[in-house]
Amino acid sequence: MEYLLVFDSTHQAITMETRVKEAGLLKARLIPTPETITASCGLSLKFQATDIEQINDFLQQERFTKTAYYRIVTDGLQKTFEPLEDK
């Protein structure tokens, strides 16, 4: 399962990209924020569900606020994004 982390600023997105690369989370990467998601930043971090605890740790260490998580749901070629409340 994959998740998407949406940021408030490009600075946050780039900082998080640096952190995940340093940690060796090879499948985590920045992607353009999907058009169906309203966000202040045009970049989001796509990552594996198994990495969510480490991603949360990075958010706390960097003191990022007001980020949003989405679960990526794939049905054939169609992708939808379900907001998650408790992550």
Tens digit of pLDDT at every position of the chain (87 positions): 999 999 989 999 999 999 999 999 989 999 999 999 987 789 999 999 999 999 999 999 999 877 899 999 999 999 999 998 755
Q: What is the pLDDT of residue 26?
A: 87
Specify the number of domains making up the chain: 1
Q: Which residue has the tokens 């960097």?
A: 62
Are 20 and 12 contacting, i.e. CB atoms less than 8 angstroms apart? Answer: no
Beta bridge partners of 47: 3
Q: How many CA atoms lie within 13 A of 3 on its CB side?
A: 19
Residue 6 CB-density burial (10 A; 0-12 exposed, 13-18 middle, 19+ buried): buried
Q: What is the pLDDT of residue 87?
A: 55
Enclosing domain of residue 36: 2-84
* Residue 80 belongs to domain with CATH number: 3.30.70
Q: What is the pLDDT of residue 38?
A: 82
